[in-house]
Amino acid sequence: MTPAQDMALALAIRAVGMPLLATLLVLGALRVQARWLRRPGSPAGQPEDPGPVLAAAIWAGVVGARGLPRWPVADTLDLLGPLALLASLAARAIGAVPESRKRAAEWALGILAAVAIGWLLMVPRGVPGAIMSVGPGALAIGVTWALGALGRTGGHPGTWHAVFAVSAAGSATMLALSGSALLGQVAASLALSGGILALIAFLRPGIAPGPSATAALAAAQGGLLAYGWAFTEAPRIPLLLALAIPASALIGRRSPGWWSSRVLPVGIALALSGAVVAWSLLAAPDPSPYPY
Amino acid sequence: MRKVIGTAGLWTLLAWTVAGPAPARAQTTWKVDPVHSQVLFRVLHLNIGHVWGWFRQFEGTVVLDAQRPEGNRIEFSVDAASVDTRDEKRDQHLRSPDFFNAKQAPKWTFRSRSVKPAGADSWEVSGDLTLRGVTKPVTFTARKVGEGKDPWGSQRVGFSAKFPVDRSAFGISYMPEGLGREVEVFVDFEAILQK
């Protein structure tokens, strides 16, 4: 094969292979969770929450894009997968908390997760000044987590995931325009995962993903954007807007109508995501690709 | 008066004879002159040709010990964000987390563990190279290009070295289909003797 053919094949693998891999991982996560990781005693027909396996799939995706992590950790992006897994496990644990205390437990855990993720992802080794950047990162992740928690408390199960998929797609474009194709690819995989889960929830409501799945996705998206805040040239305002887009899932969540509980929130998310992309395009000095 | 001067002179002569002339300094420290030094690299592009680049900001120190070669040291530090490949968008991509991740790992360093003579005007240098937060041992040969006084009275010495770096070993593995895995690094520097 000629070098040009090599390059074309590699780009095709990235363009087709990554979505295919994301699809297989998400479906595989649901299958594994439903069949082999059921909690003892749970009814056979009851759907399981695929969060931990989905988080493991996210981790595998980051390893696939970055390569195997090193110890001690040299690049804090390698911590994104483990943090998403911890977030999903924590969300599953909260499921056992009595209903009257669940909201407080979610907020408390969300704040802890925000500080932990912000600290671990945004403060590189040997750079003490970067501690100042933990604040906005922790705030950002806390917002994402909280919105994920709110998304779990009402409304159609697929709406949050559809809104998340749209916001992750906008984040992917913004991160790619900021100069990092790698972060854009990871965000695109999250968008695909969210989209697949939304489709499953809309088409088969009986097997809708649960709280730990939203926690895994929220932690991964929040962590990715916090990392982008610290280590890329991504513009700040569209970055914060991308984090806030999942709030659209709150719109119409108490309404039984199909239009107000599904179409409207996704439409608003699309508009906001478009604003994120447009702002990033305007902020990028010259968004056209350079000759590699 | 003549007697005092003569006695003092005699004592000085005596002291000098016993102590001997002041010994030549064994260990010398040299600071890299960035204006007359270069740190370049080249990497294979699409298996067709090479892309060259260089770093605009770096600093270094060389310590040479004429009597104890095991005391020789080289320390070098490069500012990863100062990469320049004559295309600003490519440089921005290189600074991003895809390649150098310059905001998280701003300094690349080399610290020698041993600098041993390896022939006339050559030294075998072994040490730790840290790129993107990952440290690996490297060994290469440094050749002395020349030494002398410049027109402003400073003593200078020049060295040249080149060595390969496996970028994937340091976590710089993006775009393996378009860029070679091995990057050749060229370092040519002049250093000024510090008093």
Q: Which residue has the tokens 């399981």?
A: A48
Using an 8 Å CB-CB cutoff, list chain A residues near B106.
Answer: 127
Residue B139's φ and ψ, nearest 5 degrees, are -135, 135
Mean pLDDT of chain A: 75
- CA dist B58 and B184 (Å) reads 18
Using an 8 Å Cβ cutoff, are A85 and A216 in contact? yes
Element (H, E) at B116: strand B107-117
Give B53's pLDDT tier (boundaries 50, 70, 90): very high
Over 50: is that where the pLDDT of A211 sits?
yes
Residues of A in CB contact (< 8 Å) with B are 3-4, 6-7, 9-10, 66-67, 70, 74-77, 124-125, 127, 178-183, 227, 230-233, 285-286, 290-292
Among A132-141, B10-19, B94-103, which range has the highest average pLDDT?
Answer: B94-103
Using an 8 Å CB-CB cutoff, list chain A residues near B98.
Answer: 179-182
Residue B56: partners with Cβ closer than 8 Å, 6 or more residues away: B79, B82, B83, B84
**Cβ separation A180–B168 shorter than 8 A:** no
* pLDDT score at B42: 97
pLDDT tens-place string over residues A75-118: 888 888 888 888 888 888 877 778 788 778 777 777 777 777 66
Which string of DSSP letters, residue by residue, matches A107-156? HHHHHHHHHHHHHHHH--TT-GGGGGGHHHHHHHHHHHHHHHHHHTTSS-
Residue B119: partners with Cβ closer than 8 Å, 6 or more residues away: none
Tally Cβ neighbours within 10 Å of residue B133: 21
Residue A10's φ and ψ, nearest 5 degrees, are -65, -40
Stated pTM of the model? 0.82
Q: How many helices (H) and strands (E) does chain A have?
A: 12, 0
- CA dist A67 and B171 (Å) reads 8
* pLDDT score at B17: 45
- CA dist A250 and A261 (Å) reads 9
Q: Percent helix, strand and coil across chain A, each rounded to 5?
A: 75, 0, 25
Using an 8 Å CB-CB cutoff, list chain A residues near B178.
Answer: 7, 10, 292
* pLDDT score at A277: 93
**Cβ separation A70–B134 shorter than 8 A:** yes
Over 90: is that where the pLDDT of B58 sits?
yes
**What is residue A237's DSSP assignment?**
H
Q: Which two tokens stand for residue A83?
A: 């943090």
- CA dist A183 and A225 (Å) reads 9
